[in-house]
Structure 1
Amino acid sequence: MTTKNAGRAGWSAVRVVRDRNAGLFLAGVVISGFGTSALWLAAGVWVKDLTGSDRLAALCLLAMWAPTLAGPLLGGLADRARRTPLLIGASLFMAGLLLTLCTVDSPRGLWLLYAVLFVYGAVGVVHDAAESALVAAAVDRSLLGDFNGLRMTTNEGMKLVAPLAGAGLYTAYGGAGVALLDALTFVLAAAVYAFLRIPADRPAPPSDGHRVRSAEGARHLWSHPVLRPLVVAGGATMLCAGLSGALVYAVVDDLGHSPAYAGVLYAVQGAGSVTVGLLSGPALRRLGARRFAACGIALLAVAVALRAVPDDALAWACSAAIGAGLPAVLIAALTTVQQQTPGPLLGRVTATANTLVFTPNVVGLAVGAALVEPVGHRLLLVVVGCALAATAAALLHRPASAERTASRSPSDANPA
């Protein structure tokens, strides 16, 4: 990257941070993301310590992911209520709910932990939908790509730091200590959201039933010539990412390292994601959403396939490339959803898009875990790389009619 492009990326990031509402949103993401990442790690360790069961520990992640399947329904809540009070109320509700985990000290209390994690996931779906809609209304459209890139950067940065802090806190004070930390971050995030100043944060009164309103989001997403291919490509990419992620321990074993070495590769991957997050705004403006996403997927395809070669230096390079390539389609899809969706629909469309994009990741993890031993990780990595390359090529094939339709629909980008 040239010095000129680096300077543009840096100036765009400064513009986002200097925007009052954008800066407050990013602060909320940092604070709440720290607590969430810490709890995500500690919950599994907590269950493992109480039961000794890997299966029960894995259910923690499932409990947090399961509500994503109800995204279209849950996202409708973000379109039926004032979104700023919704963010504040959801944060304070979770802070209070997390305090109940202080009573979990034996296997008999695990039902409460799983229940809290399930509610945590459901509230997260509503929270993300409301936040996306508010960002589209509060942040200048020309900065949405920069904002979403910085959001990705802060999230990945928290994933590098928070799990270590969570592990240390768990070692010193147990699971209750981590739950208290997460509760505190929710309270602080609520305080940050209280300072938001966003006009026109009043939803229109519903004219149809809840099911009809929920279907409107999916219908808008699927009928839109710009959004549909990005979301489909995002889902295909996350399916492949899940398959690849399930093979990481086989890759580490092939390199001749202990399973703990996977943590090193994940850290390198996180560094790649931090980098692309800073550059995504200028890249989106220069390339457009489709080409930016396709370039990221193509980079991901090469990196995943080359992971089949057992070489440490190459493994590090591939991890960094995976971290840089994977977020591109996610940032492109979210930014385009915010730009091309009317404000009253944005909560439902965002939640539906998240469901379609992220649910395949869980499927990919399960399929990869089932195939790694009978098929072998090297062949699977090459096949996944080829599938990603095909996804990138398909995304670059843009029908002219889609361009014309999108250009005739400027009203779709009007925020609420």
Structure 2
Amino acid sequence: MTTTSTWPLVRVLRDRDAGLFLAGAVVSRFGSSAMWLACGVWVKDLTGSDGLAALCLLALWLPTLAGPALGTLADRGRRRPLLIALNLASALLLLALLAAGSAGRLWLLFAVLVGYGALGVVHDAAESALVAAAVAPRLLGDFNGLRMTVTEGMKLVAPLTGAGLYAAYGGRAVALLDAATFVLAAGLCAAVRVREAPPEPPAGHWWERTAEGARHLWRHPGLRPLVLAGGVTMLCAGIGGATLYPAVDSLGRPPAYAGVLYAVQGAGSVAGGLLAGPALRHLGDRWFAAAGIGLFGAAVAVRAVPVEPVVLASSAAVGIGLPAVLIAALTAVQRETPAVLRGRAAAASDTLVFGPNVLGLAVGAALVGVAGLWLLLPALGAVLLATALVLAQRPPSPARTAAKSMS
């Protein structure tokens, strides 16, 4: 039996299916991160508009708001064939960008991005459900932590690769690279060995089936506080994101210095993801999430201090603390949701957690010009610390005992 002292990566790679899922996450996140940056640069080159370039990120995020409806697709059939089909469909969709070479065809690029985002919502819901079926429960925390590490790690490497490829060969080359990663991810998914029970015929009205995932989250006493805390955290993260460049200005640094802060935050997230599995086993879902939110809140508050070492330390702490509630919520949803509902519950959870981030970005852009860093950042920190305290008041989740007994 694997002991809790074994490194999370070793624990996961010893499980064949978990290792295949993680490898698939590596290649698909690499391609997606490279494409995300290249699309903005592509639009900027075609139009010269910063606003249109910024809309690329909105186009990718927009389908998240339809998560509960899109998540129903993840529960309609076997998830492994669906994931293979979604990866291949994403690859084919990206090939449409080969025709998007002029400002007159900018609509095609944005249409592809919206479709790309919609396929991604269904993919994430189906993958979350299939992982819960294929990966041993004792490995879920380790796996989700490592997947967060992969996601953040790719943000450190892939954008530079995408930018270099774009500079040398243009946006079409980056689209081809991303399409190739999806084909490879489809092959890795095909190699996963998991027996899925035939899906039950859909019952009830379409809207009722769509709402079942959100209803399950709301009625479950363990999932509801985690998802709500995740939504509050991501709302604050969105508002705080608008303070990045004012914080850079307070240091007397040029705007490009924001890249350094992003890199430091990414490194913190990589470290936090590696520690997530052991921390979840020892603390439980709620306390692990509360500790991360508390660290994130303290880091946001001290970022108002215009001292470079303090701001750098704050960025690292944000990277460690922010993913905790995301990992805890995802793991709890996988563990506490019946198999027939996992796709809808995962998609609803993503909408409730990540949807507020979009609102936060807009609110932060409005507030940052009215309230200075010395007012806004400590206020955000106070909200986050209060959220952590409320979450920590609850007793340890039953999953903690179960996780420890299976370790």
> Residue 211 of structure 2: which of 203, 208, 215 is its match?
215
The more displaced of 330-339 and 195-204 is 195-204
Structure 2 counterpart of 1:67:
63
Structure 2 counterpart of 1:304:
300
> Residue 97 of structure 2: which of 95, 101, 104 is its match?
101
The more displaced of 34-43 and 205-214 is 205-214
Determine whether 1:374 maps to 2:346: no
Conserved 8 A contact 1:9-1:279:
no
Structure 1 counterpart of 2:339:
343
Shift of 1:156: 0.7
Structure 1 counterpart of 2:310:
314
Shift of 1:128: 0.3
Q: State the distance in 2 between where 1:395 and 1:39 align.
A: 37
Per the alignment, do residues 385 and 174 of structure 1 end up closer, same or farther by CA in structure 2, a change over 3 Å counting?
Answer: same
Sequence identity of aligned pairs in percent?
66
Determine whether 1:269 maps to 2:270: no
Determine whether 1:390 maps to 2:386: yes
Determine whether 1:175 maps to 2:193: no
Q: State the distance in 2 between where 1:189 and 1:18 align.
A: 20
Structure 2 counterpart of 1:330:
326
Shift of 1:103: 1.2
> Residue 227 of structure 1: which of 182, 201, 223 is its match?
223
| Counterpart secondary structure, 2:368 | helix
Shift of 1:379: 1.3
| Counterpart secondary structure, 2:370 | helix
Structure 2 counterpart of 1:195:
191
Q: What are the Cα deviations for residues 297-343 of structure 1, in whole angstroms up to 9, with x where unaligned?
A: 00011100000001111111110000000000000000000110000
Counterparts of 1:155-166 in structure 2, within 5 Å, are 155-166=151-162
> Residue 149 of structure 1: which of 129, 145, 148 is its match?
145
Structure 2 residue identity aligned to 1:60: C
Conserved 8 A contact 1:83-1:201:
no
Determine whether 1:129 maps to 2:125: yes
Shift of 1:13: 2.4
Q: What are the Cα deviations for residues 320-373 of structure 1, in whole angstroms up to 9, with x where unaligned?
A: 000000000000000000110000000000000000000111111111111111
Structure 2 counterpart of 1:110:
106
Shift of 1:131: 0.3
Per the alignment, do residues 175 and 57 of structure 1 end up closer, same or farther by CA in structure 2, a change over 3 Å counting?
Answer: same
| Counterpart secondary structure, 2:369 | helix
Shift of 1:394: 0.9
| Counterpart secondary structure, 2:292 | helix
Q: State the distance in 1 between where 2:26 and 2:174 align.
A: 17
Q: State the distance in 2 between where 1:107 and 1:10 align.
A: 53
Shift of 1:10: 4.6
The more displaced of 377-386 and 141-150 is 377-386
Question: Cα RMSD (Å) of the superposition?
Answer: 1.4
Q: State the distance in 1 between where 2:370 and 2:66 align.
A: 33
Q: State the distance in 2 between where 1:127 and 1:200 align.
A: 17
Q: State the distance in 1 between where 2:25 and 2:256 align.
A: 28
Conserved 8 A contact 1:84-1:201:
no
Structure 2 residue identity aligned to 1:138: A
Q: State the distance in 1 between where 2:109 and 2:198 align.
A: 35
The more displaced of 320-329 and 192-201 is 192-201
Q: State the distance in 2 between where 1:346 and 1:216 align.
A: 10
Structure 1 residue identity aligned to 2:227: V
Determine whether 1:286 maps to 2:288: no
Structure 1 counterpart of 2:14:
18
Q: State the distance in 2 between where 1:205 and 1:214 align.
A: 14
> How many pairs are equivalent?
398
Structure 1 residue identity aligned to 2:238: G
Shift of 1:15: 1.5
Structure 1 residue identity aligned to 2:361: L
Structure 1 residue identity aligned to 2:154: M
Structure 2 residue identity aligned to 1:122: A
Structure 2 residue identity aligned to 1:119: G
Structure 2 counterpart of 1:43:
39
Shift of 1:399: 6.5
Per the alignment, do residues 275 and 8 of structure 1 end up closer, same or farther by CA in structure 2, a change over 3 Å counting?
Answer: farther
Q: State the distance in 1 between where 2:344 and 2:282 align.
A: 29
Per the alignment, do residues 157 and 384 of structure 1 end up closer, same or farther by CA in structure 2, a change over 3 Å counting?
Answer: same
| Counterpart secondary structure, 1:206 | coil
Q: State the distance in 2 between where 1:34 and 1:203 align.
A: 32
Unmatched segments (≥5 aa) in structure 1: 1-6, 411-416
Q: State the distance in 1 between where 2:339 and 2:233 align.
A: 27
Q: State the distance in 1 between where 2:371 and 2:264 align.
A: 27
Shift of 1:17: 1.1
Counterparts of 1:216-255 in structure 2, within 5 Å, are 216-255=212-251
Shift of 1:201: 4.6
Structure 2 counterpart of 1:414:
none
Structure 2 counterpart of 1:138:
134
Conserved 8 A contact 2:78-2:196:
no
Unmatched segments (≥5 aa) in structure 2: 403-407
Q: State the distance in 2 between where 1:191 and 1:399 align.
A: 43
Q: State the distance in 2 between where 1:154 and 1:11 align.
A: 16
